[in-house]
């Protein structure tokens, strides 16, 4: 090991020879000079003497005979030569090796196929020596001589290959593959002498290489008929395509076998044969890419659906966050739908006239954007007789019928027409139409597709007990579903006390949770109705009262203020104007108490006062900067003769 003293050298330099970067890296760490001093060398008989003028690396190679192993050879080895690119032959549709043994052509790449077999039960660790023939040059990252270490398990076979070519003709000896173990020779293939020629004397006249170049036209046609075309290099007969009659004969044969070759079909343009030229251009992708998204001519048709550059997509469920246009331009919020819609527009922009398929596509994407009027305009232009199937048109007819008529007769007819349709997806789509029609008719909601979340939510919502409460003009109105009765509680309110405790009226209801109501009544909710209205009890008709209804485990309440006040809140200027609800006369000396919810969430008293003769009151002005920190106001308006009410207002914009 290197101890750090002196220059660094290593006797293992030759082992770093796997590739050029590895060799350069190994040389870089050795302390060899960039410029060598003069070395002296000389021979004295068989003795060689070398005197180094500076540090240097010396490689010594010698050829020594190896004694054969004492035991019987336990390795089977064979080697064969093949021509690269013409390695196999087919007999009765079976692939067989096509080895070369007699003649080798110059300037043609050949390969040597070495097979090693371990026929014993013992694992073998072997060193295999491979050499290219004398007079040959290695190719494909090969070397003139290569040693390979092989570990061969019991009863296993492995193969090795290397490639070479001959630059000149002649007879060249080949040192065969040699196998050694522990520096003892085990086995080798027979040595051979290779005959390299400029031109083969024996030609396989039945091969495609010969027939395609030297055979007659009929021989070529017969070969195409009798052999697997997928194993034939068709461009080799391209020169024969200059004959128009032969071009038609060959391409008709290939087309009948469902085979296309780009080189052969290109002669369709040369001969002005429209079907062949059209087929060629259909496959000329680089040319088609320059022709736009769509084109339809006698010579070329570019259909983006057929070429898979565009495909129709279904978006379900698609929920639009905004129903109306915001600003001057429409915007599609869903990024994927936005991209798909613009891809469709790019295709249609290349069409001279929209056909019925295009109108159906536009109708669909307009409906997705909830542009219903435009969608119906395109849908009316569709001629269903020109569509290959009426199914989608009938579904659109049912869909738009919900927007155009009150009785939905068309939708009902379409739903009945496809109620037994064999395709699940479409049968469920029309069944969903039928279910919505039944629900419109007052029947219970039902689920058509159990995996459809929207239908599940609609079913659960339809079966959930719920109600809404409204109290005005001394009457109570309850809109309800799935309820049979409810309990009505009445709480008299000291509005000024409640306001002082909690100025923001939406929170009043919780303050009565633990108080006995002043009156209670049970109201029946008929199953055949969805809404009932009843009068407030007379004792509460002229009082401030909180009306609470409890039904189906749900509790809702609403405050009712008995007053004859007409209150106008002018938020931008912080002004109140109070008049009599019946006469419209301004009300003076009406008391107003103002609380503010600050921006940090605190609620505090802000100011109070009385209206002037005009019925006006400024609820924001103070001699401090408190207004800068206010988020919202709550205002109690109290009149001794005309009742009381509470209003909320946002802080004026600053």
How does pLDDT run across 134-189, given as a tens digit for each residue?
999 999 999 999 999 999 999 999 999 999 999 999 999 999 999 988 888 889 99
Are 228 and 146 part of one and the same domain? no
Phi-psi category of 552—alpha, beta or left, where left has phi over 0 and alpha has psi -120 to 50?
left
Structural tokens at position 366:
């307009």
Would residue 308 count as lying in a domain? Answer: no
Average pLDDT over all residues of the chain = 87
Question: Which CATH number characterizes residue 498's domain?
Answer: 2.60.40
What does pTM read for this prediction? 0.52
Among 168, 197, 226, the domain-final residue is: 197
pLDDT for the residue numbered 189:
93
C-alpha to C-alpha distance for 380 and 354, rounded to whole angstroms: 13
508 pLDDT higher than 60:
no
pLDDT for the residue numbered 466:
85
pLDDT for the residue numbered 306:
85
453 pLDDT higher than 70:
no
Would residue 321 count as lying in a domain? Answer: no
310 neighbors 341 (Cβ within 8 angstroms): no
Q: What is the pLDDT of residues 229-262, one digit of tens each?
A: 888 899 999 999 999 999 999 999 999 999 999 9
115 pLDDT higher than 70:
yes
Would residue 348 count as lying in a domain? Answer: no
Q: What is the pLDDT of residues 339-376, one digit of tens each?
A: 999 999 999 998 889 999 999 999 999 998 888 899 99
Q: What is the pLDDT of residues 246-304, one digit of tens each?
A: 999 999 999 999 999 999 999 999 999 999 999 999 999 889 888 888 888 898 988 88
- H or E element in which residue 491 lies: strand 485-492
C-alpha to C-alpha distance for 344 and 359, rounded to whole angstroms: 11
Neighbours of 112 (CB within 10 A): 23
Would residue 518 count as lying in a domain? Answer: yes
Mean pLDDT of 115-119: 94
Would residue 49 count as lying in a domain? Answer: no
Would residue 54 count as lying in a domain? Answer: no
218 pLDDT higher than 90:
yes
Are 89 and 162 part of one and the same domain? yes
Would residue 155 count as lying in a domain? Answer: yes
Are 552 and 599 part of one and the same domain? no
Are 535 and 627 part of one and the same domain? no
Total number of domains constituting the chain? 5
Which among 429, 436, 532, 435 has a CA at the least distance from the CA of 488? 532
Neighbours of 343 (CB within 10 A): 16
Backbone phi, then psi, for 104, in 5-degree steps?
Answer: -125, 135
463 pLDDT higher than 70:
no
Mean pLDDT of 324-336: 77
Which among 565, 627, 626, 636 has a CA at the least distance from the CA of 595? 636
pLDDT for the residue numbered 220:
93
510 pLDDT higher than 60:
no
pLDDT for the residue numbered 505:
58
530 pLDDT higher than 80:
yes
Would residue 536 count as lying in a domain? Answer: yes
Angle between helices 453-463 and 424-440 (to 10 degrees): 20
C-alpha to C-alpha distance for 619 and 503, rounded to whole angstroms: 15
Concatenated DSSP letters of 578-635? EEETTT--B--S-EEEEEEEETTS-EEEEEEEE--TTSEEESS--SSSGGGGEEEEEE
Q: Is 420 helix (H, G, I), strand (E, B) or coil?
A: coil
DSSP at 236: G
- The gap from C-alpha 574 to its chain's centroid, in whole angstroms, comes to 54
Are 90 and 193 part of one and the same domain? yes
Among 257, 283, 309, the domain-final residue is: 283
Are 104 and 138 part of one and the same domain? yes
pLDDT for the residue numbered 80:
95
Matching residue, tokens 């080799």: 236
C-alpha to C-alpha distance for 425 and 421, rounded to whole angstroms: 9
Cα→Cα distances 564→120, 587, 596, 648, Å: 113, 11, 25, 18
Structural tokens at position 29:
């760490």
Structural tokens at position 640:
């001794």
Q: Is 51 helix (H, G, I), strand (E, B) or coil?
A: strand
Q: What is the pLDDT of residues 9-28, one digit of tens each?
A: 888 888 888 889 998 998 88
Among 283, 309, 324, the domain-final residue is: 283
pLDDT category, 512, cuts 50, 70, 90? low
344 neighbors 365 (Cβ within 8 angstroms): yes
Are 572 and 621 part of one and the same domain? yes
C-alpha to C-alpha distance for 567 and 635, rounded to whole angstroms: 11
Are 216 and 176 part of one and the same domain? no
Are 146 and 252 part of one and the same domain? no
Are 179 and 102 part of one and the same domain? yes
Mean pLDDT of 550-567: 86
Q: Which of 40-54, 269-283, 516-530 has the highest mean pLDDT?
A: 269-283
pLDDT category, 129, cuts 50, 70, 90? very high
pLDDT for the residue numbered 185:
87
pLDDT for the residue numbered 345:
93
Structural domain span for residue 7: 1-36
According to DSSP, the residues that pair with 2 across neighbouring strands are: none
Better-scored residue on pLDDT, 49 or 452: 49
Structural tokens at position 599:
């921006």
pLDDT for the residue numbered 329:
76
Mean pLDDT of 431-447: 76
110 neighbors 164 (Cβ within 8 angstroms): yes
CA angle (66, 68, 70) in 5-degree steps: 140
Are 82 and 173 part of one and the same domain? yes
Question: Which CATH number characterizes residue 96's domain?
Answer: 2.60.40.10
Mean pLDDT of 35-50: 86
403 pLDDT higher than 80:
yes
Are 95 and 23 part of one and the same domain? no
């Amino acid at each position: 090991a290197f101890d750090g003293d002196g220059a660094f050298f290593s006797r293992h330099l030759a082992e770093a020879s796997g590739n050029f970067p590895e060799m350069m890296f190994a040389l870089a760490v050795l302390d060899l000079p960039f410029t060598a001093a003069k070395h002296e060398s000389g021979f004295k008989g068989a003795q060689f003497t070398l005197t180094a003028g500076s540090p240097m690396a010396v490689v010594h190679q010698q050829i020594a005979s190896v004694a054969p192993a004492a035991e019987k050879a336990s390795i089977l080895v064979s080697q064969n030569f093949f021509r690269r690119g013409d390695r196999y032959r087919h007999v009765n549709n079976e692939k067989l090796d096509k080895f070369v043994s007699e003649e080798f052509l110059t300037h043609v790449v050949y390969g040597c196929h070495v097979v090693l077999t371990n026929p014993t039960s013992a694992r073998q660790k072997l060193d295999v020596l491979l050499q290219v023939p004398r007079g040959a040059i290695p190719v494909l990252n090969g070397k003139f001589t290569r040693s390979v270490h092989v570990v061969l398990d019991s009863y296993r076979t492995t193969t090795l290959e290397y490639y070479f070519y001959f630059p000149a003709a002649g007879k060249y000896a080949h040192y065969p593959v040699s196998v050694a173990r522990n520096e003892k020779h085990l086995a080798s293939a027979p040595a051979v002498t290779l005959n390299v020629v400029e031109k083969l004397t024996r030609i396989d006249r039945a091969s495609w290489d010969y027939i395609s170049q030297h055979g007659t036209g009929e021989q070529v046609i017969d070969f195409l008929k009798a052999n697997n075309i997928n194993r034939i290099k068709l461009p080799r007969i391209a020169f024969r395509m200059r004959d128009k009659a032969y071009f038609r004969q060959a391409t008709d044969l290939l087309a009948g076998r469902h085979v296309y070759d780009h080189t052969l079909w290109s002669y369709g343009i040369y001969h002005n044969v429209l079907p062949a030229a059209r087929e060629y251009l259909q496959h000329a992708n680089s040319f088609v890419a320059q022709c736009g998204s769509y084109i339809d001519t006698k010579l070329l048709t570019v259909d983006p659906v057929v070429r898979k550059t565009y495909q129709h997509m279904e978006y379900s469920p698609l929920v639009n966050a905004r129903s109306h246009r915001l600003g001057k331009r429409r915007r599609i919020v869903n990024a994927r739908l936005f991209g798909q819609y613009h891809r469709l527009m790019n295709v249609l922009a290349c069409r001279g006239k929209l056909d019925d398929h295009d109108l159906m596509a536009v109708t669909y994407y307009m409906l997705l954007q909830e542009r219903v009027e435009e969608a119906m305009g395109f849908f009316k232009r569709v001629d269903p007789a020109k569509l290959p199937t009426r199914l989608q048109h009938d579904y659109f007819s049912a869909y738009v019928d919900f927007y155009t008529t009150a009785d939905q007769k068309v939708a009902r007819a379409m739903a009945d027409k496809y109620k037994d349709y064999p395709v699940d997806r479409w049968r469920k789509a029309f069944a969903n139409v039928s279910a919505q029609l039944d629900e419109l008719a007052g029947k219970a909601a039902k689920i058509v597709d159990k995996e459809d979340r929207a239908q599940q939510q609609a079913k659960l919502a339809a079966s959930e007990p719920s109600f809404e409460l409204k109290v005005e003009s001394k009457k109570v109105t309850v809109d309800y579903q799935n309820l049979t009765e409810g309990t009505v509680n009445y709480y008299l309110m000291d509005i000024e006390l409640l306001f002082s405790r909690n100025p923001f009226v939406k929170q009043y209801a919780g303050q009565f949770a633990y108080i006995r109501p002043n009156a209670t009544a049970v109201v029946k909710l008929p199953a055949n109705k969805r809404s009932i209205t009843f009068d407030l009890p007379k004792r509460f008709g002229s009082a401030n009262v909180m009306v609470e209804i409890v039904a189906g485990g749900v509790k809702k309440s609403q405050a009712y203020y008995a007053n004859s006040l007409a209150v106008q809140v002018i938020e931008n200027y912080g002004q109140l104007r109070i008049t009599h609800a019946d006469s419209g006369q301004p009300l003076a000396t009406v008391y107003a108490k103002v609380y503010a919810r600050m921006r940090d969430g605190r609620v505090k008293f802000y100011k109070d006062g009385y209206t002037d003769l005009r019925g006006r009151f400024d609820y924001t002005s103070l001699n401090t900067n408190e207004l800068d920190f206010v988020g919202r106001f709550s205002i109690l308006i109290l009149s001794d003769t005309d009742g009381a009410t509470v209003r909320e207002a946002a802080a004026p914009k600053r």
